[in-house]
Amino acid sequence: MAKNLEISYLLDFYGEMLTQKQRDVMEQYYNDDLSLSEIAENFGITRQGVRDAIKHGEAALLELEQKVGFAARYRQMHENLARLEHIVREAKFANSGSYGGISAVEMDKTLDALLEVIAAMDDPADEA
């Protein structure tokens, strides 16, 4: 059973929706990097019991993400904010040069790029 970073990410978003035992097992497996045997010993259950708890937890997390999509929306918002920051830094750098800054045409292109990213943040359908 290969560890999946996506599941760890979803655990951060939806972990509270799992049972306490499921959440604890999954946190030990994904976040603390414990083996099935170590987790089984911690909980006084079999390795198969740990594996089943993890599989059920994974299924629950994936189903929640499919239904509500908070993690994907958060990730997209974070990427868009990074794009905005990059555009602004590039414009600031270009405008700070010894040649008097960027032209009106270049500034218009930069502002259009900013507005495009902002529009994508406002309309989730544009993020696909």
Sequence spans of domains, the chain:
5-68, 71-127
The predicted structure's pLDDT at residue 122: 73
Q: H/E element holding 16?
A: none
The predicted structure's pLDDT at residue 100: 61
The predicted structure's pLDDT at residue 127: 45
Q: Per residue of the chain (128 residues), give pLDDT as tens.
A: 556 889 999 999 999 999 999 999 999 999 999 999 999 999 999 999 999 999 999 999 999 999 999 999 999 999 989 989 898 888 877 777 665 677 778 888 888 888 888 888 776 554 44
The CATH number of domain 5-68 is 1.10.10.10 = yes
The predicted structure's pLDDT at residue 115: 86
Rounded Cα–Cα distance for residues 25 and 31 (Å): 10
Rounded Cα–Cα distance for residues 36 and 25 (Å): 9
Rounded Cα–Cα distance for residues 12 and 119 (Å): 27
Residue whose structure tokens are 């604890």: 24
The predicted structure's pLDDT at residue 126: 47
